[in-house]
Amino acid sequence: MTRADVIRIMCPNLGCQRVLAVPGSARGKLVRCRGCGSNIRIPAPRIDSGSIASAAEKTKGREAA
């Protein structure tokens, strides 16, 4: 994982749909859309926790040896 990764997320507000670029450190947190002011939850796809890792494994499983 690169430290400087950026997450791009589209605002769920149908009247806005602004694409926001947030730092990877914002994963799992709420950010405010600069377009409409809505709070958007940033998904955390990869964390070293068992539950999320197993969920990802079901989806892709490319780490299986």
* Amino acid, single-letter form, for residue 15: G
* Residue 7 and residue 24 in contact, taking contact as beta carbons nearer than 8 Å: yes
Q: Does 16 contact Zn ion by CB under 5 A?
A: yes
By CB under 5 A, residue 9 contacts Zn ion: no
3-state helix, strand, coil in the chain (%, to 5): 20, 25, 55
Q: How many CB atoms lie within 10 A of CB 9?
A: 17
Does 22 contact Zn ion by CB under 5 A?
Answer: no
29 or 46, CB closer to Zn ion?
29
- Among 9, 22, 36, 44, interactor with Zn ion by CB under 5 A: 36
Binding region for Zn ion (CB under 5 A)? 11, 13, 16, 18, 33, 35-36, 38
